[in-house]
Structure 1
Amino acid sequence: IEASAAELAKHLRPGACVILESTTYPGTTEELMLPILEAGSGLKAGADFQAGYSPERIDPGNKTYTLETTPKVVSGIDAASLATVQSFYDDIVVRTVPVRSPKEAELTKLLENTFRHVNIALVNELAMFARDLGIDVWEAIDAAESKPFGFMPFRPGPGVGGHCLPIDPSYLSWRVKQSLGQTFRFVELANDVNEHMPDYVIRRLVAAMNDREMSVKGRRVLVLGLAYKKNTGDDRESPSTRVVELLSDLQADLAVCDPHVDPSRSHAAGTAEHVELTEAEVAKADAVVVLVDHDDFDLEMVARTGSYVLDTRRCTAGPNVEWL
């Protein structure tokens, strides 16, 4: 943001409107971006140019809610700026949602992602405890979802990834600590739980293979999914990368498959053999770990053919399948 603002300031002209979309901590637009723009351009925000903040809300892989069909939160540093920002986005999206200042808009995006982050951590920790107690957490979540009010379902998984959930809540945590000297405990706890889910996946795999009188070392393990999310090719901060690293450390005969991720650009490149998902590959694996449930994975075949399947997404079923 600092570099972009400094470069933009060189070209800023009177009458322009600058809109920040990057996810960041509350106060960035007015306390960080505007001083840089003013210093580099010699212009005054509000008098010579307008400015506002409108958080990006794209959901990669979502075919239902696109850029155009997702409501857009908009803000401005003053009434005139808000009017310009709102008018600009009104021509693009189905609906704009104005808020009183950039700080509220900045907090909106962090609230959305922190809400998901904390609730995913809740069900992840619940899943670990429920298994030790002999309870099917997946069935409990399905049953809870039948309540028509006061409940929103979240489901366990191998962790969180991408450029938002593992990072954005920490912006808010940093802001609270920097400005108030306090700890945002929910965010810190959620970070701890979600960051360690890949380790839990490995513990489950090791235990299952031990039950079958096998060690991970030297055994063929097929990992399905490197992306952080279903039907995308983005593996930034993906929990799959950590799972692959841990399996490599355990000296597994490791194979990975993700048709959406370019092997040459993968964060797991060089640590495993990249293969296509075929019945032969599944059959020769001592264990299959499903980390991402891409639509183009033949998961019925995986469940039917695999001698042992650890499914972290509950997308398969069968006598040789265990859910996270």
Structure 2
Amino acid sequence: MSAPETTSSAAAVEPPAVDVAIVGAGYVGVPLAQVFAEAGRSVVLLDVDAERVAQINRGESVIEDVPSEVLARLVSDRGLRATTDYDVLRDAGAILIALPTPLSSQREPDLSILLGAAREIATRLRPGQLVVLESTTYPGTTRDELLPLLEEGSGLRAGTDFHLAFSPERVDPGRTDWTTKNVPKVVGGIDEASTEAAARLYGSAIDEVHTVSSPEAAELTKLLENIFRTVNIALVNELARLCQRLGIDVWEVVEAAATKPFGFMSFRPGPGLGGHCIPIDPFYLTWKAREVDFQTEFIELAGRVNRSMPYYCRSLISQALNHGAGKALSQSRVLVLGIAYKPDIADVRESPALKIVELLQGAGATVSYHDPHVAAVTELGLESVPLEPAAYDAVVIVTDHSGIDYAALVEEAALVIDLRNATGPAGNGTAKVWKL
């Protein structure tokens, strides 16, 4: 499909050599490239990591959600390719930005990666192109931050010479039921024509597109989705801590409440939040709210509860060792089972397991980890060890990967601290199993 028409001389521009250029070949960019390539669009991925680019061009996937055999077919049969050269953007009909937007050490939005890329894009921008930001951020980023940079660097006007929109990524790594293709795509442009252009583009490859009135509405939509989860997880985490004092099994309570067919949505307690969205997204909104002299007290409270969970779990582990094995944490060998932030993936971004390992080491424990999906964690200086439960004073289940025989684990281990209810019935009524 050629570049979307605009209200100016942009309509006379030559059709693009590339339909879609995606800036960022990560957890968002590669699945996006897959769906567009499978829909028959010509796609190029742009990334600053030369090794990653070389891997993609060899058909070797860097993302679990897009297997290498799928990527290799798209590279060989559909012409999907990757590059480090920003000049490729000159020949693209649409430029999708899927770059990290992390938090600073002060828990404030850090847009440096995004804005740096925007400056590079601006010098290559030409009339008739569509630019869409997919990176999670606070309301106003597209219009107040991205738009001025694109206009200043290109000499073009957004809405007149090129289209500009925001469409939040909704990737949940490891899922096969809901993917980039069948999760509805929310789109909001800086004007009606930009919204329509973005909706046409995504509609050519994604099953359903939902348009909103502005990029600000689309930006806040993404934050609401994950803040909803953050708040409800905080609620059940707080309940889990109360249940410990009351001597009630929180897992039994959650399971029972989930039988109600209306008015209740089940969330499970755990050792904290992980991933690239849920632990981070609330801070985008609380930061933006302070700009307009508004305190998001409910959201900030949920953040405090969830951030405290690794510390609570460290105390629970210490208590279990003391009372269950008669050992001090500082004299114990502890195996952390699962270092990824969620089951059956290799993603360790913001994983609560990292903080738990750090806290256990800080208390003097000798800590190892086993994770069938994560061979090594360089920031911890650790590599995954074989699963030999009997070799440790305690096994702490932080991530409940499938494929682990938890009943056998309970049999072999001297002590199990189960933070995910992975042991299920095998851990119920067993003195050597402590549950969150």
Answer whether TM exceeds 0.5 for this pair.
Answer: yes
* Structure 1 counterpart of 2:213, from 79, 88, 100: 100
Normalised to the residue count of structure 1, the TM-score between the two structures is: 0.95
CA RMSD across the alignment: 1.2
**1:20-35 paired onto structure 2 within 5 Å:** 20-35=133-148
- Deviation, 1:157, is 0.2
- 2:314 pairs with 1:207: no
> How many percent of aligned residue pairs carry the same amino acid?
50
* Structure 2 counterpart of 1:314, from 416, 421, 432: 421
The match for 1:323 is: 435
Contact 1:145 1:151 in 2 (8 A): yes
* Structure 1 counterpart of 2:131, from 15, 18, 21: 18
Distance 1:2 1:104 in 2: 21
- Deviation, 1:303, is 1.8
- 2:269 pairs with 1:156: yes
- Deviation, 1:304, is 2.0
The match for 1:122 is: 235
Distance 2:236 2:225 in 1: 17
- Deviation, 1:129, is 0.8
The match for 1:304 is: 411
Cα deviation 1:204-224 (Å, max 9, x = unaligned): 111111113111123221110
- 2:392 pairs with 1:285: yes
Distance 1:213 1:275 in 2: 25
- Deviation, 1:297, is 2.4
Contact 2:375 2:384 in 1 (8 A): no
Cα deviation 1:83-118 (Å, max 9, x = unaligned): 110111112211111111111100000000101111
The match for 2:357 is: 244
- Deviation, 1:4, is 1.4
1:202 maps to amino acid: R
- Structure 2, unmatched stretches of 5+, are 1-113
Cα deviation 1:213-239 (Å, max 9, x = unaligned): 111123221110111111111112111
Q: Which moved more, 1:290-299 or 1:43-52?
A: 290-299
- 2:192 pairs with 1:79: yes
**1:255-270 paired onto structure 2 within 5 Å:** 255-263=368-376, 265-270=377-382
- Structure 1, unmatched stretches of 5+, are none
The match for 2:303 is: 191
Contact 1:311 1:321 in 2 (8 A): yes
Distance 1:306 1:39 in 2: 63
DSSP-derived class of the 2:152 partner: helix
**1:160-175 paired onto structure 2 within 5 Å:** 160-175=273-288
Contact 1:259 1:276 in 2 (8 A): no
* Structure 2 counterpart of 1:6, from 119, 125, 139: 119
Distance 1:141 1:92 in 2: 39
Distance 2:279 2:258 in 1: 26
Contact 2:320 2:434 in 1 (8 A): no
* Structure 1 counterpart of 2:386, from 276, 280, 290: 276
The match for 2:15 is: none
Distance 2:206 2:214 in 1: 20
- Deviation, 1:172, is 0.5
- 2:293 pairs with 1:181: yes
* Structure 1 counterpart of 2:331, from 218, 229, 235: 218
DSSP-derived class of the 2:395 partner: strand
DSSP-derived class of the 1:93 partner: coil
DSSP-derived class of the 2:193 partner: helix
- Deviation, 1:149, is 0.9
1:192 maps to amino acid: R
The match for 1:143 is: 256
Distance 2:298 2:372 in 1: 36
Length, aligned pairs only: 317
- Deviation, 1:266, is 3.8
Runs of 4 or more consecutive aligned structure 1 residues displaced over 3 Å after TM superposition: none
